Structure 1
């Protein structure tokens, strides 16, 4: 199934986070353009919905996750000098700063790292950019049922 989603609030962002859980990407697949206030990452998204329907195999698809209205980007525990290192996305979280729509979006990574986006508001798009392919590997989370 080709995915296309738009998030304009934290509830919508929770849906995108669920679909992006266990997506893998490289630092080389991340782009931030301050003038346009865009942050984009291209990732191989694990299809959890298909896993529930099909016990025989698993699927991934190439996806673009685009954040707009981004004022700044910071990272913790991410080696930006290793562009080919594969990172795994666990969650996309939002924390509001005060009364307005401004806040921070955190991309929580496996291994304790994170990428923090300072945003004017939530405006996030998720879109599959290609077909799916089979994989024999299903992500595991120690301690999860």
Structure 2
């Protein structure tokens, strides 16, 4: 008998996940919800076809204790085109908050990954094939606010 993974079963080990199928995207999306990053930590390496963000991820998988964040790299491979709306690239200190990742497939394995940001911002990535990695790169630290993010209902 197999069971789905549960947050309660998580350890304090760093997250290192790869999404290669549409069903994997909601898992990555849940883990990066409420991640924050400054505009300066957004990179598109056109020649390598790679888009990456260095994010401060809220550790939703942590149960109890002091709310924590961890720096993580969110990388998308095989990126053919990047577009955005509601993002002022002139201000490198502007901080964004991730609300969700959404995958829309098209023909032959290609598709569009959209990063929905708070404040009506969005980043759309046209990709040749779905490949997203999320990897924690620092030790967790106490969330500055001392609280978990909340959303109005």
* TM-score normalised by length of structure 2: 0.88
Find the partner of 2:21 among 9, 12, 18: 9
- Residue of structure 2 equivalent to 1:43: 55
Give the unaligned 5+ runs of structure 1: none
Deviation at 1:57, TM superposition (A): 1.8
- Residue of structure 1 equivalent to 2:140: 132
**Distance (Å, rounded) in 1 between the aligned partners of 2:135 and 2:116:** 20
1:119 aligns with 2:95: no
Query: How many equivalent pairs are there?
Result: 139
**Distance (Å, rounded) in 1 between the aligned partners of 2:148 and 2:87:** 24
What pairs with 1:27-106 in structure 2 (closer than 5 Å)?
Answer: 27-50=39-62, 53-54=63-64, 56-97=65-106, 99-106=107-114
Alpha-carbon RMSD: 0.8
Deviation at 1:4, TM superposition (A): 0.2
Judging by fraction of residues, say which structure has more strand. 1
Runs of 4+ deviating beyond 4 Å: none
| Deviations, residues 45-79 of structure 1 (Å, cap 9, x unaligned) | 001111xx21x420000000010000010001111
Deviation at 1:137, TM superposition (A): 3.0
Find the partner of 2:151 among 133, 141, 144: 141
Give the unaligned 5+ runs of structure 2: 1-11
